[in-house]
Chains A and B, each alone.
Chain A
Amino acid sequence: MNLAANPLGIWAIYRNEMLRSLRTLFQSLVAPVITTSLYFVVFGGAIGSRVSKIGGVGYGEFIVPGLVMLTILTQSVSNGSIGIYFPKFTGSIYELLSAPMSAAEAVTAYVGAAATKSVVIGLVIMATSTLFVDLRIAHPFWMAAFLVLTSVAFSLFGFLVGVWARNFEQLNVVPTLLLTPLTFLGGTFYSIDMLPPFWRAVSLFNPVVYLISGFRWSFFGIGDVPVAASLGFALAFIAVCLGTLAWMFKTGYRLKP
């Protein structure tokens, strides 16, 4: 498959998706900022003041990477899924299907746009957090790498959900039934070291633990799992999503009658 055969097509979708986001700038950016601020007030301020330092990091700071991950996971899945689900729903997908665009090109454009939006939101949340805590970033390069990888991975996953979903209910079922529990149990608000050994072992089956841990490591130099495992997991997740998508497009799965 030749990825660059229709670069203008990729750009057209990317631009269109970004314009769509700009139309909903308020709910895209302001809403996450408000939610995160509330988390800081409640967890960082009210509860955090009674929690001792974790690995030498104050609780307010400790939850920053988790909160960023929590938001970009949710946002990536929702943006990645709606980008493709909406044309499917309105029927305007006919245009994409009839255009000289390969599946890889379409995925690049849609997922690229969703991931861009997530990265921006992540940065905005980090900026917001500096209003509440003193943020240190030990490994800026790896911080950026985890931010981008996670955004891409979950935008891809969202895209899959969008292709799979036949109605709005199915579109919402994955984020609410799968993603929310996984992120809350993924160490957003605690280190899995704080759990009893049994639950600690169970947590190691939660993929989100790896992402949050790796991201937290890039800030503070400490993590629940080795950073290589985090990186490997993010890459493996992307590979699985890409493989599934390739199969879906090859068979015209739920896109073409």
Chain B
Amino acid sequence: MSPVISIKDLSKVYSSGFKALDRVSLDVAKGEIFALLGPNGAGKTTLISIVCGTVSKTSGTVLVGGDDNVSAWRRARTRIGLVPQEISLDIFSTVANCVRFSRGLFGKPVDAGFLEGLLKDLSLWDKRAARVVELSGGMKRRVMIAKALSHEPEILFLDEPTAGVDVNLRRDMWALVRRLRDRGVTIVLTTHYLEEAEEMADRVGVVDKGRLLLVEDKASLMRRLGKRRLTVTLAEPLPALPAALDGAPAPRLDDGGRKLALEFDAGEGGGAMAALLGRLDRAGIAYVDLETGNSSLEDIFVGLVGEGTR
């Protein structure tokens, strides 16, 4: 299938001289949910902003639906809806007016039925006559989304949609994203969290220091990079790892012998954990706490950069 977004050798040097993007090439397929994953300052917002036209590029090309976003900017932009990272609204305007304004900007005539559906979808219908200044932060974020969707775009960019958002809104947001995808809308989102990319995306691109380190199918990325960690807090510190606990996968003694840490592949399921706990029981080693977590994004980057130099 031909890509709906096609980015070639895109670089950006800000006027400060800072190189925020370094020859990034990326294709996004129509109808997929694509996550850009990367730490603070990686260049995710810069990348999105250039595609949407709010930041100018230094070199390279961006095609949106086959149209160059500089030479055929009008057609390219008509296809895109953007929810930026920061909330910025005309706070004295009403919710309905804000959304109506956005639709107009994109050249679409007023459509009361569509507006009602959109606001209801985002649980904003009751607030349509309220001024933005009276809304909570989460509602303002919904208004930002409503504005981005007001002109029925084919592609939706969500720049860190879950920053500062509670569990409910997050769940609503993901439900909305899936509904949009079902209607054929392509979604590009950015996130700091591997779990979020894992939960939502079809494909994931990892960005760091202005470079796109890899683009992969979510499943294979998780297999490759998704490590989980089990931390066992022992009742009594151990001076050294007992022979009974040896054997793959071997845990590591941590925190002066007070903790045992076990790393294993996310794809493996609970097998490794069960094996370790079984061995602890048989060796009669008592423990007081268990904690599981994901390996952090930092671990992943270290892993990726390591791979690159190997």
Q: A residues within 8 Å of B by Cβ?
A: 5-9, 11-13, 15-16, 19-20, 23, 87, 90-92, 94-102, 252, 256-257
Minimal beta-carbon separation of B50 from chain A (angstroms): 10
New A-B contacts (13) at CB < 8 Å, excluding given A7-B107, A9-B107, A12-B101:
A9-B105, A9-B106, A13-B104, A13-B105, A16-B101, A90-B88, A90-B89, A94-B54, A94-B82, A94-B88, A95-B147, A98-B77, A99-B105
Given contacts A96-B105, A98-B82, A256-B55, contact A19 B93 (CB under 8 A): yes
Among B89, B104, B109, point to the contact of A92 (Cβ < 8 A): B89
Among B56, B103, B107, point to the contact of A252 (Cβ < 8 A): B56
A19 partner residues in chain B, CB cutoff 8 A: 93, 97
B 215-246 to A, binary, CB cutoff 8 A, 1 in contact else 0: 00000000000000000000000000000000
The answer on a CB contact under 8 Å between A95 and B102 is: yes
Flag whether B5 is at the interface (Cβ < 8 A).
Answer: no
B 72-96 to A, binary, CB cutoff 8 A, 1 in contact else 0: 0111011010101010111111000
Flag whether B10 is at the interface (Cβ < 8 A).
Answer: no
Flag whether B53 is at the interface (Cβ < 8 A).
Answer: yes
The answer on a CB contact under 8 Å between A12 and B54 is: no
Minimal beta-carbon separation of A69 from chain B (angstroms): 30
B55 partner residues in chain A, CB cutoff 8 A: 256-257
Flag whether B168 is at the interface (Cβ < 8 A).
Answer: no
The answer on a CB contact under 8 Å between A8 and B82 is: no
The answer on a CB contact under 8 Å between A97 and B53 is: yes
A16 partner residues in chain B, CB cutoff 8 A: 90, 93, 97, 101
Among A15, A23, A96, A257, point to the contact of B92 (Cβ < 8 A): A23
Given contacts A5-B74, A16-B97, A257-B14, contact A98 B54 (CB under 8 A): yes
Flag whether B108 is at the interface (Cβ < 8 A).
Answer: yes
15 contacts between A and B (CB under 8 A): A8-B108, A9-B104, A9-B107, A11-B104, A12-B103, A12-B104, A15-B104, A19-B97, A90-B88, A90-B89, A90-B90, A91-B86, A92-B90, A98-B54, A98-B82
The answer on a CB contact under 8 Å between A100 and B88 is: no
The answer on a CB contact under 8 Å between B53 and A98 is: yes
Q: Report whether over half of chain A's contact residues are helix, strand or loop; otherwise say mixed.
A: helix
Q: B residues within 8 Å of A by Cβ?
A: 14-15, 52-56, 73-75, 77-78, 80, 82, 84, 86, 88-93, 97, 100-109, 147
| A6-B103 Cα distance, complex, nearest whole Å | 12
Q: Which 10 A-B pairs have the closest CB atoms?
A: A12-B104, A91-B88, A99-B105, A97-B54, A92-B88, A100-B77, A100-B74, A98-B52, A6-B107, A100-B78
A256 partner residues in chain B, CB cutoff 8 A: 54-56
| A60-B51 Cα distance, complex, nearest whole Å | 59
The answer on a CB contact under 8 Å between B84 and A94 is: yes
Closest residue of A by beta carbon distance from B86: A91
| A20-B116 Cα distance, complex, nearest whole Å | 23
| A12-B102 Cα distance, complex, nearest whole Å | 8
| A91-B75 Cα distance, complex, nearest whole Å | 24
| A7-B105 Cα distance, complex, nearest whole Å | 9
| A15-B97 Cα distance, complex, nearest whole Å | 10
The answer on a CB contact under 8 Å between B88 and A101 is: no
Closest residue of B by beta carbon distance from A11: B104
Given contacts A19-B97, A252-B56, A256-B54, contact A98 B107 (CB under 8 A): no
Given contacts A16-B101, A91-B86, A257-B14, contact A8 B109 (CB under 8 A): yes
| A42-B249 Cα distance, complex, nearest whole Å | 93
Closest residue of A by beta carbon distance from B16: A257
Closest residue of A by beta carbon distance from B92: A23
Closest residue of A by beta carbon distance from B89: A92
The answer on a CB contact under 8 Å between B105 and A95 is: yes
| A13-B55 Cα distance, complex, nearest whole Å | 21
| A96-B82 Cα distance, complex, nearest whole Å | 11
B102 partner residues in chain A, CB cutoff 8 A: 95
Minimal beta-carbon separation of B103 from chain A (angstroms): 8
The answer on a CB contact under 8 Å between B54 and A100 is: no
| A92-B84 Cα distance, complex, nearest whole Å | 10
A87 partner residues in chain B, CB cutoff 8 A: 90
Minimal beta-carbon separation of A96 from chain B (angstroms): 7
A20 partner residues in chain B, CB cutoff 8 A: 90, 92-93
Minimal beta-carbon separation of A178 from chain B (angstroms): 27
| A40-B103 Cα distance, complex, nearest whole Å | 46
A102 partner residues in chain B, CB cutoff 8 A: 74
| A15-B100 Cα distance, complex, nearest whole Å | 11
B92 partner residues in chain A, CB cutoff 8 A: 20, 23
B88 partner residues in chain A, CB cutoff 8 A: 90-92, 94
A252 partner residues in chain B, CB cutoff 8 A: 56
B75 partner residues in chain A, CB cutoff 8 A: 100
Minimal beta-carbon separation of A112 from chain B (angstroms): 15
B108 partner residues in chain A, CB cutoff 8 A: 8
| A99-B73 Cα distance, complex, nearest whole Å | 9
Minimal beta-carbon separation of B54 from chain A (angstroms): 4
Minimal beta-carbon separation of B2 from chain A (angstroms): 22
Minimal beta-carbon separation of B86 from chain A (angstroms): 6
A7 partner residues in chain B, CB cutoff 8 A: 107
B106 partner residues in chain A, CB cutoff 8 A: 9, 99-100
